[in-house]
Amino acid sequence: MVEPYQVILYVKYPETDWQWYYLSHEADRWRDVDIEIKDSTIKIHRQQKLEVSISLEEKDFVDGNPNSLPGEWSVRQITNEHNSAHQQ
């Protein structure tokens, strides 16, 4: 049996912190995924079905948001932070 995954989307506008959006808990592998970005909305389709629609309004992109990580972090630093926070 394969351990389930947490699926999280990380987003960053120029000059802002990284924001993360929790998509799924204890999911199997996400295959056949399409991401559509239009205006300030991201739509994620999984196996041709809409899985989630996320509004990226500027108000979400402020320092101190509990779902944010420092804007200067690399993808590797974000991955390390995520992995260490979820190894309990």
- Where are the extended beta strands (E) located within 1-88? 5-11, 18-27, 33-38, 41-46, 49-55, 68-69
In the predicted model, what is the mean pLDDT of residues 65-83?
Answer: 84
Contact 68, 56 (CB under 8 A): no
Is the pTM higher than 0.95? The answer reads no
Query: For the chain, what are the domain ranges?
Result: 5-81
| Residue with the larger pLDDT of the pair 78 and 61 | 78
Confidence of residue 74 (pLDDT cuts 50, 70, 90): very high
Mean pLDDT of the chain: 81
Of 39, 47, 38, 36, the residue nearest 9 (C-alpha): 36
Count of Cβ atoms closer than 10 Å to residue 75 Cβ: 10
Q: Is the pLDDT of residue 71 over 70?
A: yes
Q: What is the mean pLDDT of residues 55-68?
A: 63
64 C-beta neighbours (distance < 10 Å), count: 6
